[in-house]
């Protein structure tokens, strides 16, 4: 079994190291803020060797991008409820839960930091492209059913952007508020 095969075995050592390193990054962002730690500190926190981190991710920037993309994509499977109103309400509630959850603010900060980072334009485009692609296919399904879904950029502007900004500024996201954003857009 070569290194590549080992890395892909689900539940194996590689998956465990990956999860530990990702959690260490999220913890360090929560405690110290984005950018205020080194690969060595991530490795120590995760209980792995520095060389394991460098071998797999190459640099702190690549590791941070990987954590942001994994978290944002894994936690937002797009709903398919049969109506655009149901889909958007469910999706908005999912995003609200994620970004107000225990690691939520860390992930939002990571996304924002990467989005604006001269060193991370690829990560930024990856984040935006993946979210946009997911939302577009949800809206396309609505159009195929004969509904008139909003534009994907209006979902970004009037549902996602207000939730992100409110979380960043420490404001609460109540279910009524989140539903209200969807109702207003539709």
Catalog residues that contact a second copy under the rule CB under 8 A: 30-31, 33-36, 105, 108-109, 112-113, 115-119, 121, 124-125, 127-128, 156-158, 160-162, 164-166, 168-170, 181
Q: Which is nearer to a second copy, 144 or 172 (CB)?
A: 172
Q: Which is nearer to a second copy, 46 or 108 (CB)?
A: 108
Closest approach, Cβ 3 to a second copy, in A, equals 33
How far is the C-alpha of 27 from the C-alpha of 105, rounded, in Å?
A: 11
Closest approach, Cβ 152 to a second copy, in A, equals 12
Closest approach, Cβ 158 to a second copy, in A, equals 6
Q: Which is nearer to a second copy, 49 or 153 (CB)?
A: 153
Going by C-alpha positions, the residue among 50, 78, 42, 44 that lies closest to residue 152 is: 78
How far is the C-alpha of 17 from the C-alpha of 52, rounded, in Å?
A: 9
Closest approach, Cβ 103 to a second copy, in A, equals 13
Residue 70, Ramachandran bin (φ over 0: left; ψ between -120 and 50: alpha; else beta): alpha
How far is the C-alpha of 182 from the C-alpha of 162, rounded, in Å?
A: 11
Tokens of 65: 């991008």
């Amino acid at each position: 079994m070569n290194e590549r095969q080992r890395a892909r075995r689900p539940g194996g050592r590689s998956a465990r190291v990956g999860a530990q390193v990702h959690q260490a990054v999220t913890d360090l962002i929560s405690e110290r803020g984005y950018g205020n730690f080194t690969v060595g500190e991530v490795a120590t926190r995760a209980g792995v060797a520095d060389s394991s981190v460098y071998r797999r991710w190459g640099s702190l920037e690549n590791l941070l991008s990987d954590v942001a993309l994994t978290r944002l994509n894994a936690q937002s499977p797009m709903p398919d409820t049969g109506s655009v109103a149901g889909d958007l309400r469910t999706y908005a509630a999912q995003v609200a839960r994620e970004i107000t959850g225990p690691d939520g603010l860390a992930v939002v900060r990571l996304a924002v930091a990467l989005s604006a980072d001269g060193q991370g334009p690829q990560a930024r485009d990856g984040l935006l492209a993946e979210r946009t692609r997911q939302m577009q296919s949800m809206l396309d399904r609505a159009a195929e059913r004969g509904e008139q879904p909003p534009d994907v950029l209006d979902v970004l502007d009037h549902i996602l952007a207000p939730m992100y900004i409110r979380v960043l500024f420490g404001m609460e996201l109540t279910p009524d508020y989140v539903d209200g954003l969807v109702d207003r857009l539709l």
